[in-house]
Amino acid sequence: MIRPRRLRATDAVRRLVRETRVHPAQLVLPVFVAEGLSAPRAITSMPGVYQQTLQTLPEVIEAAASAGLGGVMLFGVPIAKDAIGSGATDPQGILTRSVQVAVKAAAGRLVVMADLCLDEFTDHGHCGVVRDGEVDNDATLVRYQDMAVVLARAGVDMVGLSGMMDGQVGAVRQALDAEGFLNTAILGYTAKYATALYGPFREAVDNSLKGNRRTYQQDVGNSRESMRELRLDLAEGADIVMVKPAFLDIVAAVAQASDVPVAVYQVSGEYAMLEAAAAQGWIDREQTLMESITGCVRAGADIVVTYWALEAAEMLR
Ligand code: PBG
């Protein structure tokens, strides 16, 4: 008889034949930095995750660097919001200042990424400029270009384009190149779906969205569309392509077709669901979170953006 169980029999042999090994260097920690807070503020729907302050940010960066993480992804939470998201392009804005602080604290030990999108900064909560009740794609691209240059001047290593506007990668690449920021990399949110799983994130960044993002984020039922987005992002010059949320069939398909590194964003709702079940004692928290990260890597992701990055890195030691 052929006995596959032979290779499952002991911890030693399981370890020897394991195909997928997660390494801290491939994990990226999202970090929220809020303006006007005197101390970190807990995010109710994401137990264990906080809005940090500019003062506490260096400690977080230090922890991320000592844990050997590959990077951090910064999100700014401003006090004031307006129709065009002016705060996003303010050289003194919360995201810009967070980048400066993080880059200094990181001192080259990890990659500092910043979200490049307007939704944290707009009073209507959309990822772009709204005209006649609709998100105006091309007017938004101009804002993204300005934002990219402001973030690059602040020293960001990589910008994460999460707005799902057409042409965003090409527009931002052009603006960065024109200003001489040839080495500022672009992580494209290539396949980003309109899902309820971003719910807790919207609390995390105090998002003011009333409607939904269905005119720009992808339909959950589609996968072909992700391949089209992949082709476009690659042609426009994305350095890394990302799938969000962790829809693993899409990760696997993108990983097969991409010739640049593939990231996956394990989003706030995925975090919240697992934490909620674990808090009830219904699942083993540590084991489940490691399994979910391993699943992302097994599907083909080179990089996993996850709120468990620090803890997972500790567990992997
Ligand atoms: C948009 C953005 C979102 C997330 C990351 N960037 C929210 C959205 O598209 O509504 C969600 C991340 C998460 O849920 O963890 N700037």
Per-residue pLDDT of 236-281, as tens digits, reads: 999 999 999 999 999 999 999 999 999 999 999 999 999 999 999 9
Dist. CA 198 → ligand 1 center (Å): 6
Catalytic option among 81, 104, 210, 244: 244
Over residues 171-179, mean pLDDT? 98
Over residues 130-137, mean pLDDT? 95
Q: pLDDT tens digits for 176-232?
A: 999 999 999 999 999 999 999 999 999 999 998 989 999 999 999 999 999 999 999
What are the structural domain ranges in the chain?
A: 22-316
Any ligand 1 atom below 6 A from CB of 168: no
Looking at residue 208, what is its pLDDT? 86
Looking at residue 73, what is its pLDDT? 98
Percent share of the chain, pLDDT over 90:
98
Average pLDDT in the chain: 97
Q: Which atom of ligand 1 is nearest to the CA of 118?
A: 16
Dist. CA 264 → ligand 1 center (Å): 13
Which residue's CA is minimally distant from atom 7 of ligand 1?
Answer: 198
Dist. CA 204 → ligand 1 center (Å): 10
22-316, what's its fold? TIM Barrel (3.20.20)
Any ligand 1 atom below 6 A from CB of 216: no
Percent share of the chain, pLDDT over 70:
100
Any ligand 1 atom below 6 A from CB of 267: yes
pLDDT at 313 over 90: yes
pLDDT band at 100 (very low <50, low <70, confident <90, very high): very high
- Residue 210: active-site member: no
Over residues 97-102, mean pLDDT? 98
Any ligand 1 atom below 6 A from CB of 117: yes
Q: pLDDT tens digits for 150-167?
A: 999 999 999 999 999 999
Any ligand 1 atom below 6 A from CB of 181: no
Any ligand 1 atom below 6 A from CB of 162: yes
Predicted TM-score (pTM) above 0.95: yes
Looking at residue 210, what is its pLDDT? 87
Which residue's CA is minimally distant from atom 6 of ligand 1?
Answer: 162
Over residues 26-37, mean pLDDT? 98
Which residue's CA is minimally distant from atom 14 of ligand 1?
Answer: 198
- Residue 244: active-site member: yes
Dist. CA 107 → ligand 1 center (Å): 27
The residues near 213 (Cβ < 8 Å, ≥ 6 apart) are 126, 127, 164, 194
Looking at residue 248, what is its pLDDT? 98
Dist. CA 252 → ligand 1 center (Å): 21
Dist. CA 201 → ligand 1 center (Å): 6
